[in-house]
Amino acid sequence: MFHFRMQTVLDVRKTLEDKIISEFSEHQKQLQHETDSLHAIQQQKTEMIDSLRSIKDKKVSVSEIVMRTALIKKCQEEEAVQTETVRNLKIQADKKRDELLEAATKKKAMEICKTRHFEKYQAEERILERTAIDELVITEHNRRKQE
């Protein structure tokens, strides 16, 4: 029966890869959520700017214009903060992607090693089997010869 001496190492590498895949997936979900939030803020800012532009021909109090301008400025600040958050999350996701690539490469190397060892084991088993069959045939031939 085939036993790979480094099976524990392979199992650890598979477990590590699964863990990193899970972490990477969580980072991607969080990045998507924060990107969606950024788009919502940008959409809100665009709508406020459009509403401010639409009142240029109407009679509106100065306080309303000041209020809308303040809301636009607040959206711009939120957008800047959210853009920085998205940028940081992209950096983290890229690091996780690199970790995942490295873990997958290490696991693949161990799988290749296991495959090679298994092929060597199979070749040795075929040789043993052929030797046993040859011995059986020779023994049977010698027995018949003696009869």
DSSP conformation class of 55: T
Between 14 and 145, the more confident residue is 14
pLDDT in tens, 48-64: 988 888 887 778 788 88
Question: Where does 7-146 sit in CATH, by number?
Answer: 1.10.287.1700
Q: How far apart are CA 14 and CA 20, in angstroms?
A: 10
What are the residue boundaries of the structural domains of the chain, listed by start?
Answer: 7-146
* pLDDT of 86 over the 80 cut: yes
Range in 31-35, 61-65, 125-129, 131-135 with the lowest mean pLDDT: 61-65
For 64-71, what is the mean pLDDT?
Answer: 88
CA pair distance 91, 23, nearest whole angstrom: 14
> What band does 100 get if pLDDT is binned at 50, 70 and 90?
very high
pLDDT 10s digits, 17-43? 999 999 999 999 999 999 999 999 999
The per-residue pLDDT for 103 is: 96
Work out the mean pLDDT of the chain and round it to a whole number. 93
Bin 59: left if φ > 0, else alpha if -120 < ψ < 50, else beta.
beta
What ranges in the chain are assigned the alpha helix state H?
7-54, 62-146
